[in-house]
Amino acid sequence: MQTMEKNRLQVLPKALHPSIKTLLRSLETQIKTITKQIDEAVMQVKHWRTQTEILTSVPGVGKVLAYTLLSELPELGKLNRKEIAALVGVAPMNRESGSWNGKRRIRGGRHRIRTVMFMAMLSSIQCNPVFKRFYEHLKAQGKLPKVAIIACMRKLIVVLNTMLKNETRWGENMA
């Protein structure tokens, strides 16, 4: 809603700006309140706190992604790499029948996690040298930017899964 209202602010006449700005301030207050409540809830449960600390140790993984993974993907850290990638929906699936061969595409999985991970990966490519190198390598091989981002997302979820499984924090030698 906040983004929607910010977009409306850009296109509507200046006479309507005060009411939209009031609504934006209200939304901002509500977002801060809810974020504080989530932070407090996570800090009260030792298991969640530990998992959040492990997840956010990765450059490019913030609280939004960490909390999304905690709430939407309780299997994280308990499955193997193929299962977790398929569950999130970043594993390429074959589309074949008989002699007909189609393209491999991602499908299924949990779309809310995928959406948050996509935004987090855009940040990771900028600030995390491991994912930046991997992204640049894929693009140099001729992959489309979106395909390279999805491959980076798969790598990220596999790394996060392994980190939670082994209860280790991020290090440059991890990926």
For the four alpha carbons of 20, 25, 29 and 31, in that order, the dihedral sign comes to positive
Separation between Cα atoms, residue 130 and residue 151, nearest integer Å: 13
Cα–Cα distance list, 148 to 61, 82, 107, 115, 132 (Å): 18, 18, 16, 15, 10
Q: What is the pLDDT of residues 124-136, one digit of tens each?
A: 999 999 999 999 9
Largest interatomic CA distance in the chain: 63
Taking the model in full, what pTM does it have?
0.81
Reference 88, options 153, 5, 18, 21; nearest CA is 153
Residues 107 and 51 sit within 8 Å (Cβ to Cβ): no
Burial of 34 (0-12, 13-18, 19+ CB in 10 A): exposed
Output the pLDDT for position 106: 66
Phi-psi region of 167 (alpha: psi -120 to 50; beta: other; left: phi over 0): left
pLDDT digits (tens, 9 = 90+) for 90-146: 877 666 666 766 676 666 778 899 899 999 999 999 999 999 999 999 999 999 999
The answer to whether 169 and 54 have CB atoms below 8 angstroms apart is yes
Burial of 44 (0-12, 13-18, 19+ CB in 10 A): exposed
